[in-house]
Structure 1
Amino acid sequence: MGMKAQELRDKTPEQLREDLGALKKEAFNLRFQQATGQLENSSRIRAVRRDVARVNTILNQKAAAAASEA
């Protein structure tokens, strides 16, 4: 279910920041479920963390590319 790096590269920085917000919200909810013992799919936490990292990496790459063009 994880996001593909190539799909993320095709998005604008604004779209990526929206994705990041949604992922962080999901990560928060998953941690909350885990703390209250309601979490069935614990591997989803890891997947979400990795997606957050992936989005951050691509945002940084886009920022670096924009900086080198300027």
Structure 2
Amino acid sequence: MNALHQYLLDTYRAEQLGEPAPPAPGTHDVAVLRAVRDRRRFERVLAGRPVRGGLRTVLRRLLRLRARAC
């Protein structure tokens, strides 16, 4: 059973019991991703590392390694 099937089953049960319907799958995905990003930024500040440029630094390092290997 995937998430859509579970959602449809939960919606049906909620309707039968007179309860509010559950949120659709994926409704809060963007909020969760933002919260994860904010938490990682906060942890970087506490560790004394720069907040911006972490992903760029890693990608630049990977590209340099591939350029040297070729």
Structure number with the higher helix fraction is 1
Same fold by TM-score greater than 0.5: no
TM-score, normalised relative to structure 2: 0.34
Structure showing greater Rg: 2
TM-score (norm 1): 0.34
